Structure 1
Amino acid sequence: MTTRDTRARGLAALAALIADETRATCLLALLDGRAWTAGELARHAGVAPSTLSEHLGKLVSGGLLAEERQGRHRYVRLADPRIAELVEDLAAQVAPDARPKTLRAATARSAMARGRTCYDHLAGRLGIALADALGARGLLRQDTGFALTDVGLRWFAAAGIPLDRAGRRPLARACLDWTERRPHLAGVAGAALCRHALDTGWCERIGSERAVRVTADGERALADLLGVERAALR
């Protein structure tokens, strides 16, 4: 078998793993960057625990999920940032859902569009506003893909946001936002900025989905550090 045939078989197997609505639901839920129990995912997907267990087994054996057990509980998470990027990139190609049928669904969608985590970085209008602000200040180049400038590297250091450059993950990466249809900042820099925003209380998680909102402290900090207008964060 040729190398191309091997890759084609692997690609087909990967596509088959994702091409199931229950498994796709689990992958999208895990984009919040946290580990979920099998029971939580079963309730979220609306299937029996035994059915969900079979799906999780396939995703783990296929390398899309990592698992660990603590007592009676089985926790799963996306295997690594590359898997999160793959899922988000594929989701961005799908047309948005039809108009929400309930007020609760409409409220949840509005919150997700305003600001959310995309695995380990910020997305939605919040993510776009930050990427635009970084670009406007010459900290992030967006003309040939995303790349931090030397000024940008110094800005992260001055802001007390460490960048882990030891691994193979790109320092900055453009991730297509599925609600805004524009790229937001991913990669090491995007993850570091998101982690700092949550750790310092600039942003806080809301609800049971991936939605986040900017706090009053966050509005002041982002206005001071990046010149982001507060109206863009609400």
Structure 2
Amino acid sequence: MSIKDARAAGLASLAALVADETRAACLLALLDGRAWTAGELARHAGVAASTLSEHLGKLVAGGLLTQERQGRHRYVRLADARVAQLVEDLAAGVPAAAVRHAPRTLRESSTEAAMARGRTCYDHLAGRLGIAVTDALTERGLLRQDTGFALTDAGLEWFGTAGISLDLSSRRPLARACLDWTERRAHLAGAAGAALCRHALEAGWCVRIGSRRAVKVTPSGERTLSSLLGIPPSALR
């Protein structure tokens, strides 16, 4: 088999892994960056545990998930940030008309609104919150978007001043654009995006709400982000 054919076969295999609604639902759920039990994912996907187990086996074998066992429980998570980027990029490529629907319940409506307002995208901030932070960094000359995402010298200094530690020795890109599937614009990902999100949660600027990826900016976070980046509190609610 030629190199070209081998790549084509690999791409077809990868596409086949994602081209199943149950497996796709699991991958999207795992974008919260946390480990889920097989039982939790089965309930989320609305399938029997035995059916879900077969799907998880394929995703693990395909390198999209990693797993570990603790006692009776089997925990799975996305293999790495590369997989998270793939899933988020594919989700962002779905036409808006294909996913637009009227919420069936008040709870579903509230969940969708919360996710659009602010959420984690694997390990960085997304939704209107992620876009607001990205725009503020750009407007202040801390982040460049004209030639791809890149922190400026002022941006590196800002992270240090804000007390956000950056691992400059990591092989992971420091700043990367990630297409937001609700806003249809790019937000900050990469090592800097992950560090900012982690610090925001640890410092109490944001808190997780509900059982999914939604996050909410706290009053303390509103004051801090307004002071550090000039973001109006109204833009964070």
Q: What's the counterpart of residue 124 of structure 2?
A: 121
| Number of equivalent positions | 234
TM superposition score normalised by structure 2: 0.97
Give the letter aligned to residue 151 of structure 2: L
Deviation digits for residues 182-222 of structure 1 (CA, Å, limit 9, x no counterpart): 10000000000000000000000000111000000000100
Deviation digits for residues 54-100 of structure 1 (CA, Å, limit 9, x no counterpart): 00000000000000111111000000000000000000011233121
Report whether the alignment pairs 1:147 with 2:150. Answer: yes
Which of residues 162, 168, 173 in structure 2 aligns to 1:170? 173
Give the letter aligned to residue 187 of structure 1: G
1:80-159 equivalences under 5 Å are 80-94=80-94, 95=96, 96-159=99-162
Q: What's the counterpart of residue 210 of structure 1?
A: 213
Following superposition, which runs of at least 4 residues in structure 1 exceed 6 angstroms of deviation?
A: none
Report whether the alignment pairs 1:228 with 2:196. Answer: no
1:165 to partner: Cα distance = 2.5
Percent identity for Structure 1 against Structure 2? 76
Matched residue SS, 1:171:
coil
Matched residue SS, 2:110:
helix
Matched residue SS, 1:69:
strand
Deviation digits for residues 94-145 of structure 1 (CA, Å, limit 9, x no counterpart): 1233121221111111000000000000000000000000001100001121
Matched residue SS, 1:174:
strand
TM superposition score normalised by structure 1: 0.99
Provide the rounded CA distance (Å) in 2 between the counterparts of 1:149 and 1:78.
30
1:167 to partner: Cα distance = 2.6
Q: What's the counterpart of residue 25 of structure 1?
A: 25
Provide the rounded CA distance (Å) in 1 between the counterparts of 2:32 and 2:58.
21
Matched residue SS, 1:163:
coil
Q: What's the counterpart of residue 75 of structure 1?
A: 75
Provide the rounded CA distance (Å) in 2 between the counterparts of 1:225 and 1:52.
45
Give the letter aligned to residue 49 of structure 2: P
Give the letter aligned to residue 86 of structure 2: L
Matched residue SS, 1:170:
coil
Provide the rounded CA distance (Å) in 1 between the counterparts of 2:232 and 2:145.
20
Give the letter aligned to residue 86 of structure 1: L
1:166 to partner: Cα distance = 2.5
1:4 to partner: Cα distance = 1.0
Over the aligned positions, Cα root-mean-square deviation in angstroms equals 0.7
Give the letter aligned to residue 27 of structure 1: L
Q: What's the counterpart of residue 35 of structure 1?
A: 35
